[in-house]
């Protein structure tokens, strides 16, 4: 995934472990792509980012095994996150990245 995004001329910073999320203040990203891990659930990560005043407007793409289409409007699990269900088409990810970055420009 990282290589695919870099080949599309985006700079990618790779965080190795959940505790590295604190490095976001040093990196100052335009967008975050997060893949759920067994060590740190992406929903927790989204909540951490959204709850942080410095990043609460930061677009997040969450890659998850959860069945996204089964979520309804009353379910607040993914509020603030753009979700892509695993496995996914890398072209769909890239389209979402490009769309979110364009939104930031406006």
Cα 71 to Cα 33: distance, rounded to the nearest angstrom = 20
Structure confidence at residue 7 as a pLDDT band (50, 70, 90) = confident
Written as six digits, the tokens of 78 are 């993914």
Q: Render pLDDT for 11-53 as a digit per residue (tens, 0 to 9).
A: 888 877 666 777 788 888 888 888 877 776 777 778 778 788 8
pTM: 0.78
In this prediction, residue 76 carries a pLDDT of 52
Question: Looking up tokens 């997040």, which residue turns up?
Answer: 60
Domain spans of the chain, in order of start: 2-105
Structure confidence at residue 99 as a pLDDT band (50, 70, 90) = very high
CATH topology of domain 2-105: Rossmann fold (3.40.50)
In this prediction, residue 97 carries a pLDDT of 92
Q: What are phi and psi of 85, to 5 degrees?
A: -80, 135
Nearest to 13 by CA among 102, 77, 74, 28: 28
Cα 101 to Cα 76: distance, rounded to the nearest angstrom = 24
């Amino acid at each position: 995934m990282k290589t695919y995004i870099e080949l599309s001329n985006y700079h990618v910073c790779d965080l190795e472990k959940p505790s590295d999320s604190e490095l976001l203040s040093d990196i100052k990203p335009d967008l975050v792509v997060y893949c759920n891990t067994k060590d740190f659930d992406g929903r927790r990560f989204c909540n951490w980012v959204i709850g942080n005043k410095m990043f609460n407007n930061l677009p997040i793409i969450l890659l998850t095994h959860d069945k996204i289409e089964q979520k309804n409007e009353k379910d607040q699990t993914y509020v603030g996150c753009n979700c892509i269900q695993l496995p996914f088409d890398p072209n769909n990810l890239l389209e979402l990245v490009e769309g979110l970055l364009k939104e930031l420009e406006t």
